[in-house]
Amino acid sequence: MLSVWSFLKRHKKKFVFAGAVAAGVYLLGKYAQKKIRDVQEREAAEYIAQARRQYHFESNQRTCNMTVLSMLPTLRDALMQQLNSESLTVLLKNRPSNKLEIWEDLKIMSFTRSVVAVYSTCMLVVLLRVQLNIIGGYIYLDNAAVGKNGTTQLAPPEVQQQYLSSIQHLLGDGLTELITVVKQAVQKVLGSSSLKHNLSLFDLEEKLKDVRRLVEQNQDSSLHCGRVETRSPLCPYMLADEETPLTSQAPGLTEKDFTTIKLLNETRDMLESPDFSMVLNTCLNRGFSHLLDNVAEFFRPAEQDLVQEASKNSLCSVGLPLAKIIPIVNGQIHTVCSETPSHFVQDLLMMEQVKDFAANVYEAFSTPQQMEK
């Protein structure tokens, strides 16, 4: 027993050191376990939050698609009311004395209506993508903040309704202004064209390009950080000027009004961005391509075997009198602004550029940093 005691006394420092090391290892192990558990819990929480955010985003995109489809009849009715070519066709059936004059009016009105239909449908698709993803981002943040004391809603229902009602500009005054500009462009390009003049599909494509150039020629460019940024000339048709309908200087505005103004200004910034211009232009290119494809069906020779597809060259060699093209173009509004699943609208809704842009907008407005602002 004495020998054991003396051994312990001789090696006391070693045992103390070994004990300290063992205790340190034990505590370090416990600390490491806690840290690993914290990391795992944080990763799990982030994964759940990301999954919830992705689900909310995808649900928001479905809402965008359904909203576009639900608003197309309103857009079509507004267009047909302002450009009532049907009244002209009824007059022509009565063999009036001013038949040639009516045909000339029908020529301008028919092309104006189809061109405006493509423009307004593309603008409706992209504008709603911006608006519903901005508001969707704020709604996600509001849902994520539920239960936190003192948290003010970023987008209360009243603000959502007031903000989304701004789409009425595109269906009202904006559409009227667009019709005026397009009609002037169509008059310049087709006004002198004889009704008997034969046009090939290629000729028609060139005429539409000329109309687009006139409509889109007033691009606002500014130099920023050494590069030119271009603002789409179509912005004024989609969103009212900053002074209307709300301004931060107007008396008697509520907190909700200020929030709506903030949302509208953020939307305006998005519409004036180069990315928006690029996406809208891509949609317009696709839209006018679809319009030509629809019209091309009427240029196929009657004797051609329908099983074999005509080459582009053979189609371009086929010409039709302008008087025969007018009714074809006039009827395109029912294809372009169709709420039933159509290749025209479905193609616009499913374009990768539109989806990517929507994802970027939602990402920008659904981050916690947005709540801090």
Q: Higher-confidence residue: 51 or 155?
A: 155
**Cα–Cα distance for residue pair 348/356, rounded to 1 Å:** 13
Tens of pLDDT, residue by residue over 149-170, are 556 778 888 888 999 999 999 9
Q: Are 85 and 109 in contact (CB under 8 A)?
A: yes
- Note the pLDDT tens digit of each residue in 268-285: 999 999 999 999 999 999
Considering only CA atoms, which of 154, 155, 137 is closest in space to residue 360?
Answer: 137
Kindly tell me if the per-residue pLDDT of 339 is higher than 80.
Answer: no
- Quote the percentage of the chain above a pLDDT of 90: 50
User: How, if at all, do strands 198-200 and 319-321 pair?
Assistant: antiparallel
Q: 233, 222, 195: which is closest to 324 by C-alpha? A: 195
Which single residue is written with the structure tokens 């608003």? 71
What is the rounded CA–CA span in Å between residue 145 and residue 122?
35
CB atoms within 10 A of CB 57: 18
Model confidence at 7, pLDDT cuts 50, 70, 90, reads low
Q: Any idea what DSSP says for residue 341?
A: -
Question: Are the beta carbons of 176 and 83 closer than 8 angstroms?
Answer: no
pLDDT, residue 222, reads: 41
Alpha-carbon gap, residue 348 to 286, rounded angstroms: 8
For residue 155, is it left (φ>0), alpha (ψ between -120 and 50) or beta? beta
Any residues with CB less than 8 A from the CB of 176 and at least 6 apart, and which?
Answer: 82
Q: What percentage of the chain reaches a pLDDT higher than 70? A: 71
Instruction: Quote the pLDDT of residue 300.
Output: 73
Give me the pLDDT at residue 321, please. 92
| CA 183/CA 180 separation, integer angstroms | 5
More confident residue, 339 or 205: 205
What is residue 101's three-state secondary structure?
A: helix
Closest among 3, 9, 79 to 331, alpha carbons compared: 79
Contact call for residues 134 and 127 (beta carbons, < 8 A) = no
Q: Which of the two residues, 6 and 267, has the higher pLDDT score?
A: 267
- Residue with the bigger pLDDT between 3 and 233: it is 233
Q: Strand, coil or helix: what is 83?
A: coil
Q: Which of 358, 123, 168 is nearest to 264 (CA)?
A: 168
- CA distance linking residue 62 with residue 226, whole number of Å: 39
What was the pLDDT predicted at 224? 39
Question: Residues 75, 120: contact at Cβ < 8 Å?
Answer: yes
DSSP string, 224-287: ETTEEEEE-TTHHHHS--TTSS--TTSTT--HHHHHHHHHHHHHHHHHTSHHHHHHHHHHHHHH
Report phi then psi at 149, rounded to 5.
-65, 135
Tally of CB atoms within 10 A around 254: 10
pLDDT at 87: 92
**DSSP, residue by residue, 3-59:** HHHHHHHHTHHHHHHHHHHHHHHHHHHHHHHHHHHHHHHHHHHHHHHHHHHHHHHHH
Reported confidence tier of residue 352, pLDDT bands at 50, 70, 90: very high
Residue 31 confidence (pLDDT): 66
Domain layout of the chain by residue ranges: 70-372
Let me know the angle formed at the C-alpha of 326 by 320 and 331, rounded to the nearest 5 degrees: 120
Q: Taking residues 213-218, report their average pLDDT.
A: 87
Q: 59-104, pLDDT tens digit by residue?
A: 889 989 999 999 999 999 999 999 999 999 999 888 888 899 999 9
Mean pLDDT of the 256-260 span: 88
pTM of the model: 0.81
- The mean pLDDT value of the chain amounts to 81
